[in-house]
Amino acid sequence: MPSSISAFEGTCVSIPCRFDFPDELRPAVVHGVWYFNSPYPKNYPPVVFKSRTQVVHESFQGRSRLLGDLGLRNCTLLLSNLSPELGGKYYFRGDLGGYNQYTFSEHSILDIINTPNIVVPLEVVAGTEVEVSCMVPDNCPELRPELSWLGHDGLGEPAVLGRLREDEGTWVQVSLLHFVPTREANGHRLGCQASFPNTTLQFEGYASLDVKYPPVIVEMNSSVEAIEGSHVSLLCGADSNPPPLLTWMRDGTVLQEAVTESLFLELDEVTPREDGVYACLAENAYGQDNRTVGLSVMYAPWKPTVNGTVVAVEGETVSILCSTQSNPDPILTIFKEKQILGTVIYESELQLELPAVTPEDDGEYWCVAENQYGQRATAFNLSVEFAPVILLESHCAAARDTVQCLCVVKSNPEPSVAFELPSRNVTVNETEREFVYSERSGLLLTSILTLRGQAQAPPRVICTSRNLYGTKSLELPFQGAHRLMWAKIGPVGAVVAFAILIAIVCYITQTRRKKNVTESPSFSSGDNPPVLFSSDFRISGAPEKYESERRLGSERRLLGLRGEPPELDLSYSHSDLGKRPTKDSYTLTEELAEYAEIRVK
């Protein structure tokens, strides 16, 4: 008998059975007994069928009968109206009479089912044709099943092969379905139905398709823009079966990986170093897929760098390159003293050409880079080297017995300065600190020559300046030489001039007084005449002494004299004229000479 056999609930099953015994026994009658779940009579197992007495267990009454002929050694059993409790082991015992009775150890296990069996290949790969079969037992001679497929639309047309005999003598009904699955068929629920004509019996079974397919990346960021310092999250999601190994990479370096359907790459406080292309790779045993996403980090310009000439000779062409880095590209501008010399928009480099530079091009420049995220600037200096130029404010001035000469030179690099006195065949260098004081400010060098004890006429003075690019000479003009003339008139001449001045003032006063008397009709001797006291007399214009002092101080500052000059006292009254001149650095006569000169001016 078959080791196992199955049948649908409510139908019947025929358990094929054949047995044998020795020929020499030659029994007159052969009997047989079917037991349920036990082969030993002493255990009193339920009797399914007994040919000798027809007495059976109540569970099998009206349900069992022998289809085979025991005399022909055929013990096939038919069970009808199957219910779940009839499922189990069935044993056959041969009875030839007397002691010739034997229970065979071989048995058949009956399985009561209510669903068809759908057989799907162990591996279903997308794009590869597969065969799915529906198999149901066909061991009931009274009822024959019919098969049909459920949910097979789009998969293919079924082919019914019919009834097949199995190795152990059982029968099955088979229907086949051929199709080429796609990734969309993964998880599809495919069904098979077994029905029995002329009955209400129907049995359905279902199987879900497990279609294997390579990964396809279905979810990913598009290009990402982020501001420097912000948080960025990149997502990669893939569809595959089995789940893929997802890997985030950049420039061949693995940043993160996991077996999952979606994977986030978290980037905290991004910097320009994170700017670039990121790749997501998805792979399993059936294939792989990859995609990339660009991350653009927006940031303010870096501090510009300046490469180019910083020292040039007058007349040369100067080329200056200012460059920076930012995202987006910046506006680059080069300034000098708030004047725009060059600018470019949305470029990272600016080339400035200065043809034939002049000393006016010397100075500080600024390169400024800016975009919507910030501004940075770099200062640089251009040094233009040129031959000396002696400026027009260079001159000499005399005061008392001292001559001071001012020579202002513009030059780069710093020049040497010498004063020549051709009439005396003397040359004074700036290294002679006793006579020459020099001070440099930017491109200007100011040198002052001081000559004391010059009782004679001022000498000719020539200022000569030189550096490695040339030499320049200029005879310095004298300013205020007439002061020495007044000083040389002497005290007597000064007193005479002062007396003449007083006489002129008195004359004018008397003339005005007479004119007033003559022209006034109401004048009488009884009226008090106007009286002019000597203490009220002042030199006309004396209040302007402060203007005199201011002008004198300006001239002294122009000459660069060190120390405070002696103050001039011009407030003398006529009562002081007879006094002897003091021995101050300026005598009264000299003061009057200065005053008269100022009034003339």
Give the residue from 54, 70, 66, 64 showing the smallest Cα distance to 19: 70
**Cα 273 from Cα 276, distance rounded (Å):** 8
Q: Are residues 79 and 175 in the same domain?
A: no
Q: Do strands 224-227 and 287-298 pair parallel, antiparallel, or not at all (unpaired)?
A: parallel
**CA 72, chain centre distance (Å):** 96
406 and 325 belong to one structural domain: no
Spatial distance between the Cα atoms of 512 and 503, rounded to a whole number of angstroms: 14
Q: How many domains does the chain have?
A: 5
Residue 8 shares a structural domain with residue 81: yes
Residue pair 30/94 in contact (Cβ under 8 Å)? The answer is: yes
- The size of the chain, in residues, is 601
| Whether residue 364 sits in one domain with residue 351 | yes
Residue 278 lies in a domain: yes
Structure tokens at 479: 């300013």
The C-alpha atoms of residue 176 and residue 156 are separated, in whole angstroms, by 10
**522 part of a folded domain:** no
Strand partners for 236: 220, 263
Degrees to nearest 5, angle at CA 77 with 33 and 170: 135
Residue 474 and residue 411 share a domain: yes
Position 563 in a domain: no
DSSP 457: S
Measure the CA–CA gap between 176 and 148, rounded to whole angstroms: 10
| Judgement on whether residues 336 and 273 belong to the same structural domain of the protein | no
The pLDDT score that the predictor gives to residue 411 is 92
CATH number for 467: 2.60.40.10
Give a three-class secondary structure readout of 113-174: ECCCEEECCCCEECCCCEEEEEEEECCCCCCCCEEEEECCCCCCCEEEEEEEECCCCCEEEE
Q: Name the token pair of 107.
A: 């048995």
Q: Which residues of the chain have pLDDT under 70?
A: 160, 309, 454-458, 480-498, 512-601
514 within domain boundaries: no
Q: In the β-sheet with 124-125, what is the strand arrangement from edge to edge?
A: 124-125, 211-220, 232-241, 262-267
Q: pLDDT, tens digit, for every residue of 396-448?
A: 988 778 888 999 999 999 999 999 988 777 777 777 777 888 899 988 999 99
Residue 75: domain span: 4-113
Structural domain ending residue among the three candidates 244, 274, 297: 297
Tokens linked to 194:
């077994």
Q: Does residue 155 lie within any of the structural domains?
A: yes
Asked if residue 445 belongs to a domain, the reply is yes
pTM of the model: 0.58
Model pLDDT for residues 71-83, shown as the tens digit of each residue: 999 999 999 999 9
Specify whether 108 is located in the same domain as 20: yes
Q: Is 591 exposed, middle or buried (0-12, 13-18, 19+ CB in 10 A)?
A: buried
pLDDT value, residue 223: 87
- Does residue 561 form part of some domain? no
What integer pLDDT is reported at residue 53 of this predicted model?
A: 85
- Looking at the fold, whether 377 and 412 belong to one and the same domain comes out as no
179, 181, 183, 205 from 191: Cα distances, Å: 15, 16, 19, 5
Whose CA is closest to 174, among 183, 182, 165? 165
Within this chain, do residues 49 and 99 fall inside the same structural domain, yes or no?
yes
Q: Is residue 268 in some structural domain?
A: yes
Check whether residue 200 and residue 122 sit in a common domain. yes
Distance (Å) of CA 360 to CA 111, 292, 307, 314, 384: 111, 55, 21, 10, 8
Domain-terminating residue out of 431, 449, 479: 479
Do 283 and 354 lie in one domain? The reply is: no
| Domain end call among 384, 402, 428 | 384
Distance CA 59, CA 77 (A): 15
pLDDT in tens, 153-196: 877 777 767 778 877 889 999 999 888 999 999 999 999 999 99
DSSP 515: H
Q: Which residues pair with 311 in a beta bridge?
A: 383
> 161 and 60, same structural domain?
no
| Predicted local distance difference test score (pLDDT) of residue 496 | 59
